[in-house]
Amino acid sequence: MADVAIKELIKSYDKKQNILDHINLEIKDGELMVFVGPSGCGKSTLLRTIAGLESITDGEISINGRRVNNLPPQQRNIAMVFQNYALYPHMSVRDNMSFPLRMQKMSVQDITRQVETVAEQLDITPLLDKKPKQLSGGQRQRVAMGRALVREPQVFLMDEPLSNLDAKLRVQIRSEIATIQRQLGVTTVYVTHDQVEAMTLGQRVAVLKDGILQQVAPPDELYSRPANIFIAQFIGSPGMNIIPCRVSGNELILPLEQEPVRWLLPEEMRTRLAELPQNEDIWLGLRPEAFSLSAQGQENSLSLPCQVVDGEFLGYETLIRFQPAGPFVTELDIPEQTFTARIFQQLTCAVGEDIVLHVDLGAACFFDKSGVAVAPLQNNS
């Protein structure tokens, strides 16, 4: 196995605009690292620079302490699985998996042993004598993984390998990838645009936007302590609600035009927010589950009167999209004024209905005007 170190990596095609801009990242030996971000953020390009399929403009890439900037892919001891399986249709599964070993001129006995060992790990032994056209999509993806793993690579790279599978099969194969990676302990870098996939697979997740590394952290930290508003809204489904607010003494104020909402801050939150500027517009971040439905007459000091925009019943929970009572009066540029509450019960709310939501500020996040996190939550892990 091996660690991967990326230092000040820059990738540009025209020497004017950086596709990857000063990337610094260390991937630990045996770690499953996920690159995630919206389309065009540079995550696949970054993976391909590790593989040697893309040259870099500046910086350094090291695998197991060895600088590999100028090494071709075949000398980096990496293996890669793409979105397309790229299996040879005229070859059996056994021949597809053994092909890279034959290219290395391994003995027949060693090839047979290696292929059968990996086939057993991936539970594809019964498929060894079949052709790719006889396999399902999930089986073909396992074979593609097996062809990569037989080489015993130092680093295993996966570029959106589940994109061609249906939703149910994606969940199944995703779980299998995580299990196999834990068993083999091979250093793995996995690229996806699906933040749910990233959160369930990655031991750590690297979030990219516009070629810039935004945050690298375990999934729970990305969710509860996002470094900026982009991550707060990108991670989570639905994303975090971003609401304008002001800190004033012992109160948190939502500056609504008709009547500002004033919440008396709990003692522990007063300490946390003590260093923030008073009466200046900042952003309050609340996950949808921070809201609960208040029964009539049970409103308290952390209540928010609002109106239902629409609702989405999901069986085990209900998502309520709502608007506070009236527009905000703020200097901040509010991208939208419709927010989402996740209510862990079955209920029906009519569009336009007035409701009162209770707010739990315990896991609230705060961001300055530029969208950078301030007054972070303590790490209790």
Q: Are 228 and 371 in contact (CB under 8 A)?
A: yes
Sheet strands (E) in 210-302:
212-217, 241-248, 251-254, 261-264, 282-286, 291-293
How do residues 105-116 score in pLDDT, each as one tens digit?
899 999 999 999
Is the pLDDT score of 296 beyond 80?
Answer: no
Q: Cβ atoms within 10 A of the Cβ of 121, count?
A: 17
Q: Cβ atoms within 10 A of the Cβ of 7, count?
A: 15
Would you place residue 295 in the very low, low, confident or very high pLDDT band (cuts 50, 70, 90)?
low
Residue 299 confidence (pLDDT): 53
Nearest to 328 by CA among 270, 265, 283, 269: 283
The mean pLDDT value for 206-225 works out to 97
The mean pLDDT value for 297-309 works out to 78
Residue 381 confidence (pLDDT): 44
Highest mean pLDDT among 178-187, 211-220, 348-357: 211-220
Residue 111 confidence (pLDDT): 93
Location of each CATH 2.40.50.140 domain in the chain: 238-374
Is the pLDDT score of 26 beyond 90?
Answer: yes
Would you place residue 222 in the very low, low, confident or very high pLDDT band (cuts 50, 70, 90)?
very high
Location of each CATH 3.40.50.300 domain in the chain: 4-226
How do residues 147-168 score in pLDDT, each as one tens digit?
988 888 899 999 998 887 788 8
Whole-number mean pLDDT of the chain? Answer: 90
The mean pLDDT value for 111-133 works out to 92
Is the pLDDT score of 314 beyond 90?
Answer: no
Per DSSP, what are the bridge partners of residue 242? 285
Highest mean pLDDT among 8-12, 112-116, 182-186: 8-12
Q: Reduced to 3 states, what is the DSSP secondary structure of residue 142?
A: helix
Q: Which CATH number fits domain 238-374: 3.90.1150.10, 3.40.50.2000, 2.30.30.40, 2.40.50.140?
A: 2.40.50.140
CATH number, domain 4-226: 3.40.50.300
The mean pLDDT value for 126-148 works out to 90
Would you place residue 66 in the very low, low, confident or very high pLDDT band (cuts 50, 70, 90)?
very high
Q: How far is CA 186 from CA 69, 154, 174, 182, 349, in A?
A: 22, 7, 16, 8, 49
For the entire predicted model, the pTM comes to 0.89
Strand order in the sheet with 291-293: 291-293, 354-359, 303-313, 318-324, 339-343
The mean pLDDT value for 257-273 works out to 90
Residue 298 confidence (pLDDT): 52
